C-alpha cells in the first residue's frame, strides 16, 4: 500500500508546497488588517485540494489506464482506496494544522479566533467530503464522465448566490450573522469524530464500488 | 497426467453479459503442463482468463488457481501467478526501472536478479520510458515482470497478438523452456492456433462460451484427420460422420475426429489408392468445430 501512497503523494506534496507558500506570502502582505479576505482566500485554497491533487491523480490513472495495471498486481482494492483516502486526510490535517499555526503566530483576528479556527476547520470538512464524493463518482463513472458531471455541477452552483440574493435580499446581514454565529458555536471536539466516521463510511462505500 | 495435482481447475463456471454467456466452463490444468485455450474472437477466452485473475467476477461455479479461490484470495493468487494480457498497461511517463521497482513492492518473492537478467536478455533499456517501448518490447517487459516473482502458474491472454514472427517465436520458446526446465504451468489463450500447436501439451476449444473439446494435443492430432476418398470408397456410416465435406477433382474429402477408431477399415482403400489420409492442424479442428458440416 505504501507504494500507492508514494506514487500518489507527488501531487499532494506539490499542493502543500504551493498552499503553504501562498498563504505565508498572503499573511505577510494582508496581515491582521485584512484578516477577513485572508481567511476566506485560505479556505478557498484549502478546498482546491479536491480539484488539484485528487483530480490530477485520477486523471493520471485514467490516462495511463493505471487501474488496469494495478488490477494485475497482488494488491487489494481496499488498499488502493485506503491509500487515496488516507492521503487526502493527511493533507487536509497538515494544511489545517499549518494554517491554524500560521494565523495564530501571525495574530490574525485574535479577538475572533473561534471564528477563524471554525472557518478553517469547516473548510477541511467540506474538502474531505467533496474528495470522498469525488472518489465515489470517479470509481463509479470513470474520471472523464465524472469530470463532465462536476463541470455541470459547478455551472449550477453559479446560481446559488443568485438564489440567496433573491430570498435574503433584505436580510443579508441577518443571514451572514447567523452563519458566523453557527461557525463560532460549533463544538469541534464532538464534530471531528463524527466527520471522521462519515469520511470512513464513504471510504467503505468506495471500497465496495472498487471491488 | 491423471495423477498429477491440478494447478488450475474450473467447474461449471458461468458468467453472463448482454448477448454473451460463459456457459458452465469446466477445465483443469495439471502442474507442469501447458494448456492452450483456443477459440475464435468473442468466444469467451478473455473472460475465462479474467475470472482466473478475479478481474471478472464469476456468477456461479468453482474456481481453484494454485489451490485457492481467486474470488476469495485474489491477492494471494496474484502473488503466485504471472499474468500477461493482450494489452500491456504501464504508467507511460515512468521508466522501465521505476516500473520494475514499483511492481516489485507488491510481490513476496520478487527476485531482482531475475528481473535484471531478463531485462538484459530482452535488451530492454532500464532508462527508457515505458511509452517509448514498441509493442514487442512491451510484451517482453511484461513477461519479465510476470516471471520475476517465481510464479507457479503463468496466465497469458493472447500474448503474441500483434507481434512480429521473431518476437513471437522468442516468447513461445521462453514459455516452453520455463515449463520444461522449471516445471512452470502455463495457460495460454490464443486464436493463433500455430502458437498453441508449437508449445501446448493440452488444448481446450472454447466456442460461444462453451468448452466443446479438451484433449492432449498429440492425442487430438492422432484422432483428427482429413480423409480424401473416391466415390464409393467409404461406407455411408463413415461419410456421415465427416465434417467440412467437399467435392473436388480427386473425389471428396472431409474431416474425421475418430480416425483411430476407423483406421483399420481404411487400410484396403489406402492400399488401392482410393483413400488418402492427411494430417490436420488445430486451425482445421477449430473450423470444423465452429462450422460443423
**Mean pLDDT value across chain B:** 87
To the nearest whole Å, the CA of A76 is away from the closest chain B CA by 6
Among B53, B80, B98, B103, most A C-beta atoms within 10 A, so best to mutate, is B103
**By C-alpha distance, which of A129, A118, A57 is closest to A92?**
A129
- Nearest-Cα distance to chain B for A209, in Å, is 13
pLDDT of residue B105: 92
Which cell numbers hold the place of A161? 448566490
Q: What is the mean pLDDT of residues B181-187?
A: 88
pLDDT of residue A2 exceeding 70: yes
Helix-, strand-, coil-residue percentages of chain B, each rounded to 5? 40, 30, 35
pLDDT digits (tens, 9 = 90+) for B192-214: 888 888 889 999 999 888 998 89
- Contact between B76 and A68 using a beta-carbon 8 Å cutoff: no
Tell me whether residue B1 is in a domain. Answer: no
Cell numbers standing for residue B211: 468448452
Q: Does residue B172 share a domain with residue B41? A: yes
Cell numbers 507504494 label which residue? Answer: A3
Does residue B285 lie within any of the structural domains? yes
Residue in A with minimal Cα distance to B145: A73
Same domain, B93 and B208: yes
Q: Given a cut of 90, is residue A47 above it in pLDDT?
A: no
Q: Are residues B234 and B189 in the same domain?
A: no
User: Residue B291 pLDDT > 80, yes or no?
Assistant: no
Residue A72 is nearest to which of B53, B76, B91, comparing CB atoms? B53
Domain co-membership, B68 together with B115: yes
pLDDT band of residue B3 (cuts 50, 70, 90) is low
Domain count, chain B: 2
Average pLDDT over residues A58-78: 91
Interface test with B, best of A74, A80, A210 (most B CBs within 10 A): A74
Lowest mean pLDDT among A47-51, A177-181, B253-257: A47-51
Whether residue B110 sits in one domain with residue B24: yes
Question: Which of A10, A73, A79, A208 to mutate: most B Cβ within 10 Å?
Answer: A73
Q: How far is A207 from chain B (nearest CA, A)?
A: 15
Distances (CA, A) of A77 to A89, A134, B10, B14, B166: 18, 17, 24, 23, 38
All residues of chain B having their beta carbon less than 8 Å from the beta carbon of residue A73 are: 78, 103, 106
**Closest partner CB to A72 (pick from B76, B78, B102):** B78
Decide which of A87 and B264 is more confident.
A87
* A203 Cα to chain B: minimum distance (Å): 20
Cα–Cα distance for residue pair A65/A43, rounded to 1 Å = 33
Considering A49-63, A123-137, A167-181, the range whose residues carry the highest mean pLDDT is A123-137
Question: Of A57-71, A167-181, B178-192, which gets the smallest average pLDDT?
Answer: A167-181
Q: Are residues B168 and B101 in the same domain?
A: yes
A2 touches chain B (CB under 8 A): yes
Closest CA in chain A for residue B52:
A72
Question: CA dihedral in degrees (B150, B153, B158, B160; nearest 10)?
Answer: 40
- Tell me the three-class secondary structure of A2-42, residue by residue: HHHHHHHHHHHHHHHHHHHHHHHHHHHHHCHHHHHHHHHHH
Assign B13 a pLDDT band (cuts: 50, 70, 90): very high
The answer to whether residues A83 and A5 touch, using CB atoms and an 8 Å cutoff, is yes
In a domain, B240, yes or no: yes
- B199 and B263 assigned to the same domain: no
Please indicate whether, in this complex, the C-beta atoms of A73 and B103 are within 8 angstroms of each other: yes
Beta bridge partners of B8: B29, B65
Q: Which residues contact B12 (CB under 8 A, 6 or more apart)?
A: B24, B25, B26, B60, B61, B62
Share of residues in chain B with pLDDT > 70 (%):
98
Residue with cell 450573522: A177
pLDDT at position B155, please? 94
pLDDT over 90, % of chain B: 38
Per residue in B48-62, pLDDT tens? 999 999 989 899 999
Per-residue CA distances from B146 to A122, A190, B154 (Å):
47, 50, 8
Q: Could you tell me which residue, B1 or A12, shows the higher pLDDT?
A: A12
What part of A 102-121 touches B (C-beta under 8 Å)? none
The residue of chain A nearest to residue B83, with distances taken between CA atoms, is A72
Minimum mean pLDDT among A36-40, A57-61, B216-220: which range?
A36-40
Contact between chains at B78 and A69 (C-beta distance less than 8 A): no
- Residue B249 lies in domain: 224-291
Nearest to A73 among B78, B91, B93 (CB): B78
pLDDT higher than threshold 80 for residue A169: no
**Mean pLDDT, to the nearest integer, of A142-146?**
90
Weakest-pLDDT range from A93-97, B6-10, B65-69, B174-178: B174-178
**Average pLDDT along chain A:** 87
Q: Stretch B270-293: mean pLDDT, rounded?
A: 83
In a shared domain, residues B148 and B38: yes
- Going by pLDDT thresholds of 50, 70 and 90, the confidence category of residue A158 is confident
Residue B293: pLDDT band with limits 50, 70, 90: low
Shared-domain flag, residues B120 and B255: no
| Residue percentage of chain A with pLDDT more than 70 | 100
Within 10 Å of residue B280's Cβ, how many Cβ atoms? Answer: 20
Residues B29 and B56 reside in one and the same domain: yes
- In chain B, what residues touch A7 (CB-CB under 8 Å)? 91, 102
A198 Cβ under 8 Å from any chain B Cβ: no
Instruction: Please check whether residue B80 lies inside any domain of the structure.
Output: yes
pLDDT reported for residue B2: 56
Of B75, B89, B93, the CB nearest to A75: B75
| B213 and B244 assigned to the same domain | no
Do B198 and B230 lie in a common domain? no
- Taking the Cβ of residue A209 and every Cβ of chain B, the question of whether any pair is shorter than 8 Å is answered with no
CATH of the domain at B95: 3.40.50.300
Which of A63, A69, A74 lies at the smallest CB-CB distance from B78? A74
pLDDT tens digit sequence for B214-261: 999 888 888 898 888 888 777 778 887 788 888 877 788 888 888 888
DSSP state for residue B95 in the 8-state scheme: B
Amino acid at each position: 500500500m505504501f507504494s500507492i501512497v508514494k506514487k500518489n503523494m507527488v501531487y499532494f506534496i506539490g499542493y502543500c508546497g504551493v498552499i503553504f507558500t501562498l498563504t505565508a506570502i498572503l499573511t505577510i502582505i494582508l496581515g491582521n488588517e485584512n484578516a477577513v479576505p485572508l481567511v476566506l482566500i485560505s479556505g478557498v485554497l484549502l478546498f482546491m485540494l479536491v480539484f488539484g491533487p485528487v483530480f490530477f491523480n485520477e486523471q493520471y490513472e485514467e490516462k495511463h489506464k493505471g487501474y488496469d495495471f494495478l488490477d494485475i498486481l497482488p494488491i487489494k482494492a481496499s488498499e488502493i482506496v485506503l491509500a487515496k483516502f488516507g492521503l487526502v486526510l493527511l493533507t487536509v490535517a497538515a494544511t489545517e494544522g499549518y494554517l491554524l499555526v500560521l494565523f495564530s503566530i501571525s495574530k490574525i483576528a485574535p479577538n475572533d479566533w473561534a471564528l477563524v479556527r471554525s472557518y478553517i476547520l469547516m473548510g477541511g470538512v467540506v474538502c474531505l467530503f467533496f474528495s470522498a464524493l469525488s472518489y465515489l463518482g470517479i470509481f463509479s463513472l470513470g474520471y472523464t464522465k465524472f469530470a463532465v458531471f462536476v463541470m455541470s455541477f459547478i455551472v449550477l452552483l453559479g446560481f446559488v448566490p443568485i438564489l440567496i440574493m433573491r430570498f435574503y435580499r433584505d436580510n443579508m446581514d441577518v443571514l451572514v450573522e447567523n452563519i458566523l454565529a453557527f461557525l463560532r458555536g460549533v463544538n469541534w471536539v464532538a464534530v471531528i469524530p463524527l466527520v471522521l466516521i462519515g469520511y470512513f463510511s464513504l471510504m467503505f462505500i468506495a471500497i465496495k464500488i472498487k471491488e | 497426467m491423471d495423477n498429477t495435482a491440478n494447478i488450475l481447475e474450473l467447474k461449471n463456471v458461468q458468467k453472463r453479459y448482454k448477448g454473451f454467456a460463459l456457459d458452465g466452463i469446466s477445465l483443469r490444468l495439471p502442474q507442469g503442463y501447458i494448456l492452450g485455450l483456443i477459440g475464435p474472437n468473442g468466444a469467451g477466452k478473455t473472460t475465462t482468463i479474467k475470472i482466473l485473475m478475479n478481474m471478472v467476477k464469476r456468477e456461479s461455479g468453482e474456481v481453484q488457481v494454485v489451490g485457492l479461490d481467486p474470488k476469495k484470495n485474489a491477492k494471494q493468487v496474484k502473488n503466485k501467478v504471472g499474468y500477461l494480457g493482450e494489452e500491456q498497461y504501464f504508467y507511460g511517463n515512468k521508466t522501465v526501472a521505476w516500473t520494475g521497482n514499483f511492481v516489485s513492492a507488491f510481490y513476496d518473492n520478487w527476485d531482482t536478479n531475475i528481473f535484471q537478467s531478463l531485462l538484459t536478455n530482452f535488451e530492454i533499456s532500464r532508462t527508457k520510458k515505458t511509452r517509448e517501448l514498441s509493442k514487442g518490447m512491451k510484451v517482453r517487459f511484461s513477461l519479465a515482470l510476470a516471471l520475476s516473482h517465481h510464479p507457479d502458474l503463468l496466465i497469458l491472454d493472447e500474448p503474441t497478438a500483434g507481434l512480429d514472427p521473431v518476437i513471437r517465436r522468442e516468447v513461445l520458446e521462453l514459455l516452453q523452456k520455463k515449463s520444461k526446465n522449471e516445471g512452470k504451468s502455463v495457460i495460454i489463450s490464443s486464436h493463433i492456433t500455430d502458437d498453441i500447436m508449437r508449445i501446448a501439451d493440452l488444448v481446450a476449444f472454447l466456442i460461444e462460451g462453451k468448452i466443446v473439446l479438451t484433449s492432449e494435443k498429440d492425442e487430438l492430432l492422432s484422432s483428427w484427420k482429413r480423409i480424401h476418398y473416391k466415390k464409393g470408397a467409404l461406407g455411408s456410416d463413415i461419410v456421415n460422420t465427416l465434417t467440412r465435406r467437399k467435392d473436388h477433382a480427386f473425389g471428396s474429402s472431409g474431416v474425421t475426429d475418430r480416425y483411430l477408431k476407423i483406421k483399420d477399415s481404411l487400410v484396403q482403400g489406402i492400399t488401392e489408392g482410393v483413400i488418402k489420409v492427411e494430417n490436420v492442424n488445430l486451425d482445421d479442428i477449430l473450423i470444423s468445430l465452429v462450422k460443423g458440416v
